Chains A and B, each alone.
Chain A
Amino acid sequence: MHKFEKIWMSVGTGSLIIFLVILGVSAVHAGHTPAASGIETINPEYVRDDDRFAEPGLYESDDDEFDYNLYFVASAFNYEPSEVEIPQGSRVKVQVVSTDVVHGFQVVNTNINMMVEPGLVSTYRTNFDNVGEYLIVCNEYCGVGHTDMTSTIKVVEGGAEANE
């Protein structure tokens, strides 16, 4: 084998090992899992019968792990709620369901990016540490109104009394 071939094969193998080790540590030690991992099912025709999604929005969490639960219902072609305020530094469990077809749920400039499939509750656990206005967009083509399907998360300083 040529000397150069040995070098580039070693570098390639070494890089692959480095990537896999980082991914392994990140997944097992830091607990980074794919978005919407875990399967919780819900009948898409009876989404509103579920207490969480009857009036979706931001609610204080009973769980010690989170400060708030944020519920969203996606349907052609809007998200409910259309705007929500979250206090800075909150630990939030985001749960999204669809009542009709497959939608996307991407919060721009964050790692939140989920598919929202009818029949599944898509869940993402996150912290909102930076004050700002975050656009939510649908990134799964869902019909003629797809491009207008948006919502907004406002991360604000202080309390969350404005949330309903």
Chain B
Amino acid sequence: MTEKKVEKIQENSETHDVDHSKLDLRGTFMMVMFLGGLIFVSWFGAFILFLDRM
């Protein structure tokens, strides 16, 4: 019972790794970069406003 189960778990784990690297994350990537860019621009906007009012 145990050997078979362990093999199956290992097999699943390997399959998962393979699947993960093949995931199509282009949409996620674009959205993450878009949000990151928004945060980046907002941060510098506030900082420049602060410096301008010094």
Give A residues with C-beta under 8 Å from B: 2-5, 7-8, 11-12, 15, 19, 22, 109-111, 127
Contacts and interface: CB of A to CB of B under 8 A. Distances in A.
A110 B52 CA distance: 9
Nearest to B20: A2
A2 B25 contact: yes
A19 B43 contact: yes
Q: Point out which of A4, A12, A110 has the most chain B C-beta atoms below 10 A from its C-beta.
A: A4
Interface in B9-48: 20-21, 23, 25-26, 28-29, 32-33, 36, 39-40, 43, 47
Nearest to A23: B47
Contact of A8 (B23, B29, B40): B29
A111 B48 CA distance: 12
Interface residues of B, number: 17
A8 B28 CA distance: 10
Given A11-B33, A109-B53, 17 more contacts: A2-B20, A2-B21, A2-B23, A3-B21, A4-B26, A7-B29, A8-B29, A8-B32, A8-B33, A12-B36, A15-B36, A15-B39, A15-B40, A22-B47, A110-B53, A111-B50, A127-B54
5 contacts: A4-B26, A4-B28, A8-B36, A19-B43, A109-B53
Q: Point out which of A5, A7, A22 has the most chain B C-beta atoms below 10 A from its C-beta.
A: A5
Which 10 A-B pairs rank lowest in CB-CB distance, beginning with the nearest? A4-B29, A4-B25, A111-B53, A8-B32, A110-B53, A2-B25, A2-B21, A15-B40, A11-B36, A111-B50
